[in-house]
Amino acid sequence: MTELSYEQASRYVLELPLHTKKNPFQKAKAFYEWLGGPGGKSRIIHVAGTNGKGSVCAFLHSILTVAGYRTGLFTSPHLVDLRERLVLGREQIEKDVFARLLTELLEKLEEYARQTGQAGEAKAEPYCPTFFEMLFFLFFLWMEEEKPDFVILETGMGGLLDVTNVVKKPLVCVITRIALDHCAFLGGTLEEIAAQKAGIFKKGVPAVCWDTGPAVRAVFVRMAGEVSAPLTIVSKNQVAFSKIRKNSVDFFMESAYYKYIKATLQTEAAYQAQNALLAVRAIEAAGLTGQVDRKQVESGLCAMRWDGRMEEVLPEFYVDGAHNPDGIAAFLDSVALDGCRGKRLLLFGASADKSVRQMLELLQQSLLFDSIEGCCIPNPRSLTKEELSGLLSCGEEAVYEDPARALGALTQKRGPRDRIYAVGSLYLAGEIKRAAGTYMEVCHD
């Protein structure tokens, strides 16, 4: 096969959702093992959960990087660039490396299909990785080459049947806050979803879990006990912040190992203090306290940047990726503390398969916003202009057809003391961020 260019490779991967369907876990696992389990010998921290898992991964990655370790990071989704999902140290995967590894991976898939067919499965449908699976395999081929000191691995939608669960012996398993999301796939109750997430627990491997509530806690205790996994439950009572200022949160926690952790998080998202706490507890549970000292932990927390979470993309224009009721509630906690002295303008856009009515009820009942307008997102699952207009009980003139138009219009409307927020979808956050970059370029020209 002729090596693909990066443009060809990225286009191929981005078009996979149009041509593939979800695979049984065993199919993905069989292919991973046929590959030889690339990257499987790395020191891996495996992170699952509903809300906050990307942020916890980013905190862990930042702490270990500041401590001087070469650390790989696999997360999703991306906001602007596909390569955001695959990181080593402070750099995304190079375009030429991405293209080379995808070419190799496609060649291996062809060989795998031939070999499994020769083994008597000629009539079986060949294994075709999904978008997420393809990126996972590509990432671990990269990690096999680079041999980093650590790998931070974020699950996709679930845990038990997620392709990332092919890893056999991580250092520690982490589960963030559990909420109702992806119910069609993971279950309709918090307990069912928690059980899917806790499917990443491994025999004898420490587990660190956020205390979402008694019912979820009971699931974690039971499932950790079944595999003899030492369990640490982390709750909001173990963290405090003294002050939330523009783009920063003062974070404090007591620690059995580090005694006292104090850091300034570079965000206005109050919920990031909880994610920082989980990351520190994971470092402790993984037995890394002898390799990472307290100052490195604090510096790593301070250095962490995670796009799309209460991120200021233009002056007084913030995007947040909250896309379920639990995430919206956390977003509103931060908005209530923002110190805005003018009006708050809100832009809302979401996928039709999310709990849209519940999210909007929370936003409207908060009484924090002087206006709420809608925006379609460039995604097949997006709410339509008509649907948004009906849900917001407004005319279609208050609903924008695309994020770039919304950004331009709201920026023009904003008064000197006003603040704009965009929320409801990480797709919306990414598109607003992309449009903000173009807007700044035009302004500078």
State residue 441's pLDDT score: 59
Q: Between the CA of residue 62 and those of 245, 314, 374, 441, what are the distances in Å? A: 22, 25, 35, 29
What gap in Å lies between CA 334 and CA 274, rounded to an integer? 13
Per residue of the chain (445 residues), what is the pLDDT tens digit? Answer: 789 999 999 999 999 987 788 899 999 999 999 999 999 889 999 999 999 999 999 999 999 999 999 999 999 999 999 999 999 999 999 999 999 999 999 999 999 999 887 555 445 678 999 999 999 999 999 999 999 999 999 999 889 999 999 999 999 999 999 998 777 788 889 999 999 999 999 999 999 999 999 999 999 999 999 999 999 999 988 887 667 788 898 989 988 898 889 999 999 898 999 999 999 999 999 999 999 999 999 999 999 999 999 999 999 999 999 999 999 999 999 999 898 999 999 999 999 989 999 999 999 999 999 999 999 998 888 999 999 999 998 877 789 999 999 999 999 999 999 999 999 999 999 999 999 987 665 555 5
pLDDT digits (tens, 9 = 90+) for 48-103: 999 999 999 999 999 999 999 999 999 999 999 999 999 999 999 999 999 999 99
State residue 123's pLDDT score: 57
What gap in Å lies between CA 58 and CA 52, rounded to an integer? 10
Q: Which residues contact 218 (CB under 8 A, 6 or more apart)?
A: 191
What gap in Å lies between CA 196 and CA 190, rounded to an integer? 10
Q: Where are the beta strands (DSSP E) in 49-176?
A: 71-74, 86-88, 91-92, 150-154, 172-175
State residue 242's pLDDT score: 65
**CB of 339 within 8 A of CB of 351?**
no
What gap in Å lies between CA 69 and CA 63, rounded to an integer? 9
Spacing of C-alpha 294 from chain mean position:
26
What amino acid is encoded at 364 in this protein?
Q
Q: Which string of DSSP letters, residue by residue, matches 253-281?
A: EEETTTEEEEEEESSS-TTHHHHHHHHHH
- Domains (ranges, CATH) in the chain? 6-303 (3.40.1190.10), 311-444 (3.90.190.20)
Q: Which residues contact 98 (CB under 8 A, 6 or more apart)?
A: 6, 9, 10, 83, 86, 138
State residue 152's pLDDT score: 98
Beta bridge partners of 263: 251
Residue 246, token pair as written in the block: 């523009």
What is the pTM for the complete model shown? 0.93
State residue 237's pLDDT score: 87
Checking phi first, is residue 392 left (phi over 0); if not, alpha (psi -120 to 50) or beta?
alpha
State residue 443's pLDDT score: 59
Beta bridge partners of 373: 347
What gap in Å lies between CA 414 and CA 282, rounded to an integer? 42
Q: Where are the beta strands (DSSP E) in 268-354?
A: 311-314, 317-319, 344-348
Q: Is the peptide bond before 77 cis (omega within 30 degrees of 0)?
A: yes
Stated as kind and residue range, the H or E segment containing 115 is helix 95-116
Size of the chain, expressed as the number of residues it contains? 445
Q: Which residues contact 288 (CB under 8 A, 6 or more apart)?
A: 171
Which residue, among 308, 253, 338, has the nearest Cα to 429 in the 3D structure? 308
Residue 312, token pair as written in the block: 């200021």
What gap in Å lies between CA 326 and CA 370, rounded to an integer? 22
State residue 342's pLDDT score: 95
**CB of 422 within 8 A of CB of 319?**
yes
